Amino acid sequence: MGSGAFILVLAVALAESIAPAERKCQLNGLWRNDQGSLMEISALRDNGDFEGQYLTRVTLSGGCAQISPLKGAQQQLGEEGWSTFAFTVRWDKFSNATTAFVGQCFVDAGGKETLTTMWLLREAVGSLEEDWKATRVGRNVFTRKRTTKGKILPSLSPPCEDVSSSAQ
Amino acid sequence: MGSGAFILVLAVALAESIAPAERKCQLNGLWRNDQGSLMEISALRDNGDFEGQYLTRVTLSGGCAQISPLKGAQQQLGEEGWSTFAFTVRWDKFSNATTAFVGQCFVDAGGKETLTTMWLLREAVGSLEEDWKATRVGRNVFTRKRTTKGKILPSLSPPCEDVSSSAQ
Amino acid sequence: MGSGAFILVLAVALAESIAPAERKCQLNGLWRNDQGSLMEISALRDNGDFEGQYLTRVTLSGGCAQISPLKGAQQQLGEEGWSTFAFTVRWDKFSNATTAFVGQCFVDAGGKETLTTMWLLREAVGSLEEDWKATRVGRNVFTRKRTTKGKILPSLSPPCEDVSSSAQ
Amino acid sequence: MGSGAFILVLAVALAESIAPAERKCQLNGLWRNDQGSLMEISALRDNGDFEGQYLTRVTLSGGCAQISPLKGAQQQLGEEGWSTFAFTVRWDKFSNATTAFVGQCFVDAGGKETLTTMWLLREAVGSLEEDWKATRVGRNVFTRKRTTKGKILPSLSPPCEDVSSSAQ
């Protein structure tokens, strides 16, 4: 092991011993799920409210997804530092559907953060008689995506066709 | 067709031409679901965002529920006026769980408004190994509860024991 | 306690001692849900296994439904007589989807039987990448439909087009 | 690449070209999910019905699980060979709950088989008023576990305490 690597390990060890509070799960930052969808959660307010952006890789319609706003809330941290959260995503330009997620943040012994979530995806249907088929359910697991600082989700957005032309 | 029937048809036609907006579903106001839970949704912003209050009649813990804040978003109305929505409720004082709802607003021929929703209720669990059992799913149907104007949910709140004493 | 109240208590006690079995929920028989779908459950075996037939009023494809076989199992009755159950329906001629229900049987004080169920409806998708959108979730409540004896579901079946011609 | 490796590649290529039918998903056999639970599905009947055994690694009660019978049905294979299925598991000795799974079988280009499933777990509750909280939802992914021939699930069963003593 070179001395550079050793110093890095030492620094990490020190950081962990100095700041055990970092073992608590922090929702803010950039996350990627098992389907390649990305979300970025902004800093949380004192009451647990947060906002952010979601960029899905998959759509019901097969159309190109735009970055969509998300809004949610985290429960107060329990003694063990685990916390549940819920948020909604508004896909207003490319979909008639709405999604809500619930989940919990976990940190393993090695410091790896995981958000396990389940979601409901609600499509618009034409009448109350069709309501029975409107709701899909699924599960996604997110892990933290390390990045340079700053709001970077827009820069990761795939090249959609021009929005103005999609109105045709 | 008798003249009575003709007048009725005319009246309905007039009503529709005069007040077509009433057929659109308005989320704001007070709603009551099939379990007796109440929610009050405030006026929506232009982008569909809304806030409100939720008073559940049922809790996992069996404890007394406090009025809890809700936040969500409605999709843009489609041509037919149906709209889907999603919101989250933060039960921060009496529960370690979080709930998210998705649903759609329907208006029948008689003007009766119905919100059909499905929800996920996420409990905190102690480890990733227990994650499998953390999420419940259910369905609720809300109908509008007519009331006098104003924010009245607090006045409908059942008498909980004093909050300060519940901290014991 | 007045003599009227005493007589009432006595009557209830007698009713319970004479016909306690009626308070237990019996799955067998004909049931109708809130969408008008019908199911008929045959007599249960000792281990709780049962079979039956399901006639849905609604289909994803909009096509005409055939009577479909169902198979399931009831848990052993608990002390209170409530029992949970689960069953699957195989829609093999008119759908590429599969449905599974879970539920519980309740009897109210007046003897009215209710089956509350939730279900998952799984559609076939073309690849693992599309798996996320394949599962719908919903809820149905069934009440007993009184009929004359015998397997009568086939006689209630709506007039589908001739099955032989639908094979084209 | 050594000649040994080359011959192996050739053999695999030949096997695939000779037996393309193996690319179809076969439900029968032993499967293991992401939680370590095991299931063994017996040969399917012509109509798609199947039976098997399930050994869960996780229980709501935390108690020791027994091998439990499962029963289900596979839809007829579509043109692409993908098939959906559903089955129920009867946990009759150690739980008052019932589970139903729905899923689909996928085979990737390398021949790896995956069963993606979602499930509902229904607990018994004491009254209709508590019905709202009785149903949990989740997702499991199974992969084939290669074994020697024969019904081997019982031999993989973990050492439970003696059943007779668990009544204490």
Look at D59 and C153; give whichever has higher pLDDT.
D59
Give pLDDT < 70 ranges for chain C: 1-23, 77-82, 92-94, 147-168
Backbone angles phi, psi at C98, to 5 degrees: -135, 145
Look at A92 and B124; give whichever has higher pLDDT.
B124
Is residue D50 predicted with pLDDT exceeding 90? yes
Is residue A105 predicted with pLDDT exceeding 60? yes
Q: Provide the 8-state DSSP code for D23.
A: G
User: What number is the average pLDDT over the span B89-107?
Assistant: 86
State pLDDT tens for residues D85-144: 999 998 866 677 899 999 999 998 888 999 999 999 999 998 999 999 999 999 999 999
Q: Which of A132, A133, A136 to mutate to test the interface with C (most CBs of C within 10 A)?
A: A132
Is residue A50 predicted with pLDDT exceeding 80? yes
Query: What pLDDT score was predicted for residue B155?
Result: 65
Q: Is C24 part of the contact surface with chain D (CB cutoff 8 Å)?
A: no
User: What are A119's strand-pairing partners?
Assistant: A101, A138
Strand boundaries in A14-165, DSSP class E: 29-33, 38-41, 49-55, 68-74, 83-90, 98-107, 113-122, 135-144
Residue with tokens 């960029």: A55
Contacting subunits of B (3+ beta carbon pairs below 8 A) = A, C, D
- Residue numbers in B near D137 (CB within 8 A): 120, 135-137
Query: What pLDDT score was predicted for residue A167?
Result: 33
Is residue A23 predicted with pLDDT exceeding 80? no
Mean pLDDT check: name the lowest of A62-66, A76-80, A160-164: A160-164
Q: Is C43 part of the contact surface with chain B (CB cutoff 8 Å)?
A: no
Q: Is C139 part of the contact surface with chain B (CB cutoff 8 Å)?
A: yes
Query: What pLDDT score was predicted for residue C163?
Result: 41
Question: Which value does ipTM take for this structure?
Answer: 0.78
Return the sign of the alpha-carbon dihedral for residues B100, B106, B110, B111: positive
Residue B9 DSSP SS3 = helix
pLDDT band at A20 (very low <50, low <70, confident <90, very high): very low
Q: Is A129 part of the contact surface with chain C (CB cutoff 8 Å)?
A: yes
Check A136 against C135: CB less than 8 A apart. yes
pLDDT band at B136 (very low <50, low <70, confident <90, very high): very high
Q: Provide the 8-state DSSP code for A7.
A: H
Query: What pLDDT score was predicted for residue A151?
Result: 55
Nearest residue on chain B to A131, alpha-carbon basis: B116
Look at C25 and A153; give whichever has higher pLDDT.
C25
Query: What pLDDT score was predicted for residue B62?
Result: 74
Q: Is A148 part of the contact surface with chain B (CB cutoff 8 Å)?
A: no
Is residue D161 predicted with pLDDT exceeding 60? no
Query: In Å, how far is C129's CA from the nearest CA of chain D?
Result: 10
Is residue B46 predicted with pLDDT exceeding 60? yes
Q: Which of B90-94, B136-140, D122-126 ranks highest by mean pLDDT?
A: B136-140
Is residue A36 predicted with pLDDT exceeding 50? yes
Under 8 Å between Cβ of A87 and A72: yes
Query: In Å, how far is A121's CA from the nearest CA of chain D?
Result: 15
What's the mean pLDDT when you consider all of chain D? 77
Is residue B17 predicted with pLDDT exceeding 60? no
SS (H, E, C) chain C: CCHHHHHHHHHHHHHHHHCHHHHCCCCCEEEEECCCCEEEECCCCCCCEEEEEEECCCCCCCCCCCCEEEEEEECCCCCCCCEEEEEEEECCCCCCCEEEEEEEEEECCCCCEEEEEEEEEECCCCCHHHHHHCEEEEEEEEEECCCCCCCCHHHHCCCCCCHHHHHC
pTM of the model: 0.81
Nearest residue on chain B to D132, alpha-carbon basis: B138
Q: Which of A34, A118, A121, A136 to mutate to test the interface with D (most CBs of D within 10 A)?
A: A118
- Residue numbers in A near D139 (CB within 8 A): 118, 138-139
Q: Is C94 part of the contact surface with chain D (CB cutoff 8 Å)?
A: no
Tell me the one-letter amino acid at D114: T
Query: What pLDDT score was predicted for residue A102?
Result: 98
Count A/D contacts: CB-CB distance under 8 Å: 10
Nearest residue on chain A to B124, alpha-carbon basis: A84
Check C137 against A137: CB less than 8 A apart. yes
Q: Is C57 part of the contact surface with chain A (CB cutoff 8 Å)?
A: no
Query: What pLDDT score was predicted for residue B12?
Result: 42
Under 8 Å between Cβ of A144 and A30: yes
User: What number is the average pLDDT over the span A87-111?
Assistant: 87
Query: What pLDDT score was predicted for residue A7?
Result: 45
Query: What pLDDT score was predicted for residue B15?
Result: 41
Give the largest Cα separation in chain D, rounded: 70
Q: Is A96 part of the contact surface with chain B (CB cutoff 8 Å)?
A: yes
Query: What pLDDT score was predicted for residue C52?
Result: 95
Query: In Å, how far is B64's CA from the nearest CA of chain C?
Result: 26
Check C100 against D97: CB less than 8 A apart. no
Query: In Å, how far is D139's CA from the nearest CA of chain A?
Result: 7
Mean pLDDT check: name the lowest of B27-31, B34-38, B74-78, D44-48: B74-78
Strand boundaries in D10-134, DSSP class E: 29-33, 38-41, 49-55, 68-74, 83-90, 98-107, 113-122
User: What number is the average pLDDT over the span B25-37?
Assistant: 91
Q: Which of C36, C39, C26, C37 is nearest to C152 (CA)?
A: C39
Check C133 against A133: CB less than 8 A apart. no
Mean pLDDT check: name the lowest of B114-118, B154-158, C68-72, D75-79: B154-158
Query: What pLDDT score was predicted for residue B88?
Result: 96
Query: What pLDDT score was predicted for residue D23?
Result: 57
Tell me the one-letter amino acid at A2: G
Mean pLDDT check: name the lowest of B91-105, B147-161, C12-26, D142-156: C12-26
Q: Is C52 part of the contact surface with chain D (CB cutoff 8 Å)?
A: no
Check D136 against B138: CB less than 8 A apart. no
Q: Is C9 part of the contact surface with chain B (CB cutoff 8 Å)?
A: no
Is residue D157 predicted with pLDDT exceeding 70? no
Is residue A72 predicted with pLDDT exceeding 90? yes
Count B/D contacts: CB-CB distance under 8 Å: 36
